[in-house]
Structure 1
Amino acid sequence: MFQWFALKTYSPFLAHCQLFPSRCLACGTPCDRADWCTPCRARLPWVEGNRCPQCAARHSAYGLCGQCQTQPPAFTACVPALAYRPPIDQYIRALKYRSQLLYARLCGELLVHAVQNHFDLAPAPQPECIIPVPLHSRRLCRRGFNQALEIARPVARRFGLPIDYHCLKRIRATQAQTHLSPRDRASNVKGAFLIHRQPPYKRVALIDDVMTTGHTANEIAHCLKRAGVEKIEVWVVARAG
């Protein structure tokens, strides 16, 4: 049973093992043990254009977007690696719903690239730890893993940061945010998180796979601020909208 699960989970990546020639995930051409060939990597939906420095939403001007000016979120900044478009949306769905866990490594490495650029462009004290967005216990049991935690692992290794997945707990099983309106998304996550263990940090990075409206990140940031955390950055693989 274990061998079958392992084969099913890792089969899309067997070509990237030393026993097989490396091929681009997108076009299948040989690419010298990289995940993408150079042209396909260049065509990934990298975040471009004017973005709000706080929530990373697209808008037509420089500086904060209207939403962040009138109702600023509790987090300081959002750092997305990519826009939520093909093929990254397909990779994230394969990770979450088909247990293709090696997509977590790919997503984490893309996020490393974005976070390093963020540090280079805006030098500031780094976060003291990484907090993955927690899943409710029922969803965690059903899925078998937390995709945010798996994405966080290569990021934590690269920057030498600890991962704290004990301080925050999801105490209410919420609906999936995907098909909810912005108003419903806010009420859906209201009161869904609880500080389980007092965090001894002043600066943290919250990691998730996708940010759409930012309501989940904002709710968690409020929890962390009430617990004494002063600065919360949100690092996400993909930003929708």
Structure 2
Amino acid sequence: MNILGFRCVQCQGQLQISIHGLCSRCHREIRHFPYCGKCGAELPHCAMWCGQCLRNEPNWDRLVMVGRYNEPLSSLIHRFKFQNQFWLDRTLARLLLLAIYQAKREHGLILPEAILPVPLHHFRQWQRGYNQADLLARRLAKWLHIPVQNQSLQRNKRTPTQRGLTAKARRKNLKNAFSIAAEFPYQRVAIVDDVLTTGSTVNEIAKLLRKIGVQEIQVWCLART
């Protein structure tokens, strides 16, 4: 019996296990499907490559995601990111944790040596009050016992929002937007972000990591549009 009255963060129904954040019904509404472990394209069965990423190969090596940017996941992410509901980090990070465990089983994922949250420009972080990717990364780092490197990667340019831009405009917008610390000893890393759209942001970061000799780059995200 739920004597403390914990509620589902989505439907407000009572929870049997408070730490889950989502009730079983809302959790089932998040559509899970087999996907390409490289680019995230939906597939009939799990595979490490697909025709789409062979034609347009991303700069990262592995992708882990919870699902598509559809309800109820999209609403949870929007509330987390734009409505100051930073306390949703635990629920959303737990969903991503489950996706990571699934990727270990189905894609043979090897956990990274360090976790890198996608940084915000300091002005945008000041406006929002927090970096949603950093909150997710901190939760995952604690649960997986992996260090989070939230100072190594910096966003130098205050770029306009990526929403509504074409893939070409996104790439131009992000050119030379990031820098990384000179001392970076890790060879296998995971970049954490909330939503992957064209992949321009993480591609730009991955290129930077390649230049300093990082061998394997994973991308962990809540949703792909």
Same fold, TM exceeding 0.5? yes
Q: Which residue of 1 aligns with 2:6?
A: 22
| 1:116–1:140 distance in 2 versus 1, CA, 3 Å | same
Partner of 1:166: 151
**1:73 and 2:67 are equivalent in the alignment:** no
Quick one: distance in 1 between partners of 2:110 and 2:63? 16
Paired position in structure 1 for 2:188: 203
Alignment partner, residue 129 of structure 1:
114
Does structure 2 retain, via aligned residues, the 8 Å contact 1:135–1:146?
A: yes
Counterpart of 1:87, as a letter, is P
Q: Deviations over 1:55-109 (max 9, x none)?
A: 1023679663444213322110110012111122122221222211111111111
Task: Name the residue aligned to 1:31.
Answer: 15
> Within 1, Cα distance between the matches of 2:52 and 2:43?
11
Q: Which moved further from structure 2: 93-102 or 224-233?
A: 93-102
CA contact (8 A) 1:168 1:197 kept: no
Q: Counterpart amino acid of 1:37?
A: C
Is the 2:103–2:109 contact (alpha carbons within 8 Å) kept by the matching residues of 1? Answer: no
Is it true that 1:52 corresponds to 2:36 in the alignment? yes
Question: What code does the residue aligned with 1:43 have?
Answer: E
Q: Quote the Cα distance in structure 1 between the aligned partners of 2:36 and 2:112.
A: 21
CA distance in 2, matches of 1:109, 1:131: 17
CA drift of 1:29 comes to 2.6
The amino acid of 2:166's aligned partner reads S
Could you tell me how far apart the structure 2 residues matched to 1:238 and 1:169 are? 23
1:41 matched residue in structure 2: 27
Please report how far the alpha carbon of residue 181 of structure 1 lies from its aligned counterpart in structure 2 after TM superposition. Answer: 1.1
Runs of 4+ residues deviating >6 angstroms:
none
Q: Find 2:179's aligned residue among 179, 188, 194.
A: 194
CA-CA distance at 1:165 after TM superposition: 1.1
Contact 2:90–2:136 under 8 Å retained in 1:
yes
Distance 1:122 1:149, change over 3 A: same
* Separation in 2, partners of 1:124, 1:94: 30
Q: Distance in 2 between matches of 1:87 and 1:159?
A: 26
Report the secondary structure of 1:154's partner residue. Answer: helix
What is the DSSP-based 3-state SS (H/G/I as helix, E as strand, rest coil) of the residue aligned with 1:235? strand
- RMSD between aligned residues: 2.1
Paired residue type of 2:28: A
Matched, 1:142 2:127: yes
Name the counterpart of 1:107: 92
Cross-structure match for 2:216: 231
- In structure 2, the residue corresponding to 1:127 is in which secondary structure? coil
Structure 1 residues 17-46: Cα deviation after superposition (integer angstroms, max 9, x where no partner) = x98402223333322134222222111233
Structure 1 residues 38 and 171: alpha-carbon distance in aligned structure 2, compared to 1, 3 A threshold: same
Report the count of equivalent residues. Answer: 221
Give the TM-score of the pair, scaled to structure 1.
0.84
Task: Establish whether residue 183 from structure 1 lines up as the match of residue 168 from structure 2.
Answer: yes
In structure 2, relative to structure 1, the CA distance for the partners of 1:205 and 1:64 (3 Å cut) is same
Q: Distance in 2 between matches of 1:192 and 1:86?
A: 31
Corresponding position of 2:68:
83
Equivalents in 1 of 2:30, 2:136: separation in Å? 18
SS at match of 1:22: coil
User: 5+ unaligned residues in a row in structure 2: which ranges?
Assistant: none
Aligned-pair CA distance for 1:219? 0.6
Is the CA contact 1:129–1:163 (under 8 Å) kept in the aligned structure 2?
Answer: yes
Identity %: 34
